[in-house]
Amino acid sequence: MSQTRLRAEGLRLGYGERTVVDDLDLDIVEGSITVIIGPNGCGKSTLLRALGRLLAPRAGAVLLDGKRIDKLPTLEVARVVGLLPQAPSAPEGLTVADLVSRGRHPHQRWYRQWSAADEEAVSRALAMTGMDEHAARVVDELSGGQRQRAWISMTLAQDTALLLLDEPITYLDLAHQVDVLDLVHRLHTERGTTVVMVLHDLNLAARYADTLVAMRDGRIVAQGPPAEVLSEQLMSEVFDLDAKVLSDPVAGTPLIVPISAHLRQSAD
Amino acid sequence: MRPVRDIPPVPGRRVLLVGPAAWTFRPRTIVVPAIGALLLVLVAALNIAHGSSNIGLLDVLRTLLGGGDRRENGIIFDLRLPRTLAGVLVGAAFGLAGAIFQTIARNPLASPDILGITWGAGVGAVALIVLGGTGGQTSGLVAELGVPLAGLTSGIVTGLLLYALSWRRGIDGYRMVLVGIGLSAVGYNLVYWLLTVGDVDDATRATTWLVGNLAGVGWAAIGPTALALAVLVPATLVCAHTLGGLQFGDDTARGLGIRVSTARGTLLLLAAALAAVATAAAGPITFVALASPQIALRLARTAQPPLVGSMVLGALLTVSADLTVRLVAPDLPVGVLTAVLGAPYLIFLFVRGRRGARA
C-alpha cells in the first residue's frame, strides 16, 4: 500500500534560460491524494508537467514504478498515468461522447479503434461525472462546470491508476469545486487511484489531501499531512500572508483565515 | 462484442467490426461518401460521354465494362478516360491533403494552395520547363516524367520548409498559416521570375500548366500518379488515427500517449506529398483542397473533416468543374473555374470568422 509509484529525483526544470525548479525530490505513494500548493509562479504546474513527462528535466529524473518515465514507451505510460492540463482546448463542434472516447486512445490501435472495454470505460466515465445526460451535446455549448466535468471524464476513460490534475477546479463555482473534488475522492476510495493535483484553494486542499506539498521558488518548503503542514508560520513563509489557522468545523482539517491589511489597520 | 450490462451505450457511435479490427463511425460519415461516390460515377460518365462526338451515357458504361466497339474503345480509353481519371485521382489527393492540413492547423484556411505547397511544386515544374528545356523543345521523357517529378520534389521540399519554419517548441496552426502565406508569395514570385527569364515558347507551356489543366494528362502521367497515391493514401489513413488526439493541445495529446512532433510531422509530410503529387500531375488546381474538406465536414456533421468524405468530394468537385468548363468554354483550363469559385469562398470563410468555419 505504501509503495512509491512516482518519484522525482534531483529534478531541475526550466523553460528557455530560466530555471524554475532546482534539485527537487518527491515521492508519490500509491493510493494517496497529494496536493501541491504554493504562490503563483512557484513551479507547481511545472513540477506536475514533469511528473507527467510533458516536460523533460534539465537534470535528475522522474521514475514511474522505479523506471525512468522518459525511457518508457509513451503509450505504455499513458495506460498508467492520466493527466489533465490547465485549460485544455477542444476543437469546435466536438460532442462530449467523442471527447471522452478519445481518452481511450492509449488502449487502441489504428485497426482496432473501439472495443467492449472502450465502450464500458467511456460509459462509466460519463456516468461518474454525471455527464451521461449531456453526452450528445457539443463541448463548446456547455457551461464552464460541465466542460470541466467532460474533460475529467476523458481523463477517467483513460482508466489509469495515476491521475495528475492541474488546477482542476479553478474556473468553477464553489458547488462545482466541491463536486469535482468529491469525485476525485470517490475515485481514490473506490478504485484506489493515486492522485496528484495542483490546487489554489488551501481550505479545500487541506480537506481532500492525504499529503500536502508546499512549494516556493521551485523548492519544497514543507510536506506531510495537512494538519502538520498548514501552520501560521508556513503561511507567512510560503505565501507572505498573515493568517490565522483554525479548525474547519465541518471536516476538522486546518482552516486558513487570512488577516487582510485593511482589517489590521482598523483594529489598531 | 460482449454486451455491457447496466451501462447505457455511448450515443452516436456505431462500431464496424472486421475480424479483430474495429472502427467507430456515424451513419452520416458513411452515407455522405457513398452518395458522393454515386454522383462521382454519374458525373464521370457524363464527362466521358461529352465531346466532339457524343456517346450515349449507357454506351459509355457498357464500353467501360468492356463491351464497346472499336470506335468507342478508341475514343473512350485513349482520349477521354485519362482526363476524367486524372480528375478523380488529383481531386481525391487534394481533398485528403486539405483535410489533414486543416485538421492539424485547426484552421479551415490551411490548405496546400494557401500554405505554399502548390506554388512550391510549381517552382520545380516551371524551373524544369524553362531552364532544363531546349528552347521550347522540352519533350519526350523529360516532359512526361521530369516535370511531374520536379514538381513533386519541390512540393515536398516546401512542406519540409513549412514544418521547419513554423516549428517553435511545437506547431501552432495560426503560425503555420502565416508562414505558409509567406512561402506561397515566395513561390509565386519565383515562378513569375522564371517565366520572364525563359523564352516565349517555354513560358507559354509553363503557363498552361500553371493554371491547372486536365486536358493534357495522358496515360503516361496517370500511371506514376496512381502508383504514388496507392502508397500515400493508405499510409495517410493509417497515420491519421492520431489526428483526434492531435487536435487537442500538445499537453493533452502527449498525455494520451501520442508522440506529438513525430505524429504531426509525419502527417504534414504525407499531406504535402499528396498535394505535390496532384499538382505535379495536373498543375495547381486551387480551391479543391480548401473547400472539399469543409463541405464534407458540414455534410457529415463532424468536428473534423472526414477523410474519406473529403477525398470523394474532392474528386467530385474536380470532375464536375472539368465537365462544367468543357460544356461552357471548352478551351478554358479547369483551374480557372476552380480559382473563380475559390475567391468568393475564401471571402465567405473570412466573413464567417471562427464560428462555423472549423477544422
Interface size A-B, in CB pairs within 8 Å, comes to 130
CB contact under 8 A, B23 and A114: yes
Choose among B2, B22, B354: nearest Cβ to A114. Answer: B22
Q: At CA A43, angle to CA A38 and CA A44, rounded to 5? A: 55
- Give the pLDDT band of residue B5 (cuts 50, 70, 90): very low
Residue type, A188: H
> What structural domains does chain B harbor?
90-358 (1.10.3470.10)
In order of A118, A132, B22, B109, B118, the CA distances from B8 in angstroms are 13, 9, 20, 39, 48
For the stretch A51-84, pLDDT in tens is: 999 999 999 999 999 999 999 999 999 999 999 9
CB contact under 8 A, B4 and A116: yes
- Minimum CA–CA partner of A48 in chain B: B251
Q: Which of A69, A84, A110 to mutate to test the interface with B (most CBs of B within 10 A)?
A: A110
Choose among B241, B303, B355: nearest Cβ to A113. Answer: B241
pLDDT at B207 over 50: yes
A95 has which bridge partners? A138
A70: which chain B residues are within 8 Å (Cβ-Cβ)?
none
CB contact under 8 A, B251 and A54: yes
Mean pLDDT of the region B67-89: 87
For the stretch B248-305, pLDDT in tens is: 888 999 999 999 989 998 999 999 999 999 998 888 888 899 999 998 988 888 888 9
Choose among A74, A116, A136: nearest Cβ to B12. Answer: A136
Nearest Cα of chain A lies from the Cα of B104 at a distance, in angstroms, of 11
For the stretch B215-254, pLDDT in tens is: 877 787 788 889 999 999 999 999 998 998 888 888 999 9
pLDDT at A46 over 80: yes
pLDDT at B358 over 70: no
pLDDT at B3 over 50: no
For the stretch B91-143, pLDDT in tens is: 999 999 999 999 998 888 899 989 999 999 989 988 888 887 544 444 555 66
pLDDT at B143: 62
pLDDT at B61 over 90: no
Contact by Cβ (8 Å): B337, B281: no
pLDDT at B79: 80
A102: which chain B residues are within 8 Å (Cβ-Cβ)?
244-245, 248, 256
User: Please, which residues have CB within 8 angstroms of residue A263's CB and are 6 or more apart in sequence?
Assistant: none
Query: Beta strands A4-15 and A18-29: pairing type?
Result: antiparallel
Nearest Cα of chain A lies from the Cα of B33 at a distance, in angstroms, of 20
In order of A213, A215, A238, B14, the CA distances from A21 in angstroms are 14, 10, 15, 47
Tell me the pTM. Answer: 0.86
B11: which chain A residues are within 8 Å (Cβ-Cβ)?
97, 135-136
Among the listed residues B276, B315, B314, B143, the one whose alpha carbon sits nearest the alpha carbon of residue B217: B143
A101: which chain B residues are within 8 Å (Cβ-Cβ)?
10, 13, 24
Choose among B23, B24, B303: nearest Cβ to A91. Answer: B303
SS (H, E, C) chain B: CCCCCCCCCCCCCEEEEECCEEEEECHHHHHHHHHHHHHHHHHHHHHHHCCCCCCCHHHHHHHHHHHCCHHHHHHHHHHHHHHHHHHHHHHHHHHHHHHHHHHHHCCCCCCCCCCCHHHHHHHHHHHHHHHHCCCCCCCHHHHHHHHHHHHHHHHHHHHHHHHHHHECCCECHHHHHHHHHHHHHHHHHHHHHHHHHCCHHHHHHHHHHHCCCCCCCCHHHHHHHHHHHHHHHHHHHHHHHHHHHHCCCHHHHHHCCCCHHHHHHHHHHHHHHHHHHHHHHHCCCCCHHHHHHHHHHHHHCCCCCCHHHHHHHHHHHHHHHHHHHHHHCCCCCHHHHHHHHHHHHHHHHHHHCCCCCCC
Decide if B351 touches A, using CB distance below 8 A: no
CB contact under 8 A, A85 and B255: yes
For the stretch A93-139, pLDDT in tens is: 888 998 999 999 999 888 777 788 888 889 999 988 888 899 889 99
